[in-house]
Amino acid sequence: MAELTTSLVLQERSYGGRTYKLSEEKIEGFVDGVDSLKQAIYKILSTERYEYPIYSFNYGIAWKELIGEERPYVRAEMKRMIQEALLQDDRILEVDGFVFDFSGDLCRCTFSVASIYGEIEIGTEVAV
């Protein structure tokens, strides 16, 4: 009987930064470079992790886990979750410079993203 063998070679493919440009209600052409990265960051920060089957479990942030927690815990976890989520993107080199501002049940967080395009300042707001 003949033996069947196969040889499989996997190649990692990079698609660069070109993607569809999103506005609040529609797709408006294409965007690339730093604007593409800013849009990717916005999407990651706006997507609740584990909620949408279309995304892998590495995409988005589990913000719901912070509801009702104490401020020191929220600071530490927000920093960890943001870094973990954003560093999945190969264009992002480092995420640091976190500043937290609490007002009632909201936490505003600003931070810096070092990327292949340079430094980007980002902010997000989460109910806790």
Percent of the chain residues past pLDDT 70, beyond the cut: 89
CATH 3.90.1150.10 is right for the domain spanning 19-127:
no
For range 25-47, the mean pLDDT: 90
**75-115 pLDDT tens trace:** 999 999 999 999 999 999 999 999 999 999 999 999 999 99
Q: What per-residue confidence (pLDDT) applies to 28?
A: 80
Point out which residues pair with 18 in neighbouring strands.
Answer: none
Could you give the CA distance from residue 33 to residue 81 in angstroms, rounded to a whole number?
A: 24
d(CA 1, CA 101): 71
Contact between 69 and 77 (Cβ < 8 Å): yes
List the chain domain ranges: 19-127
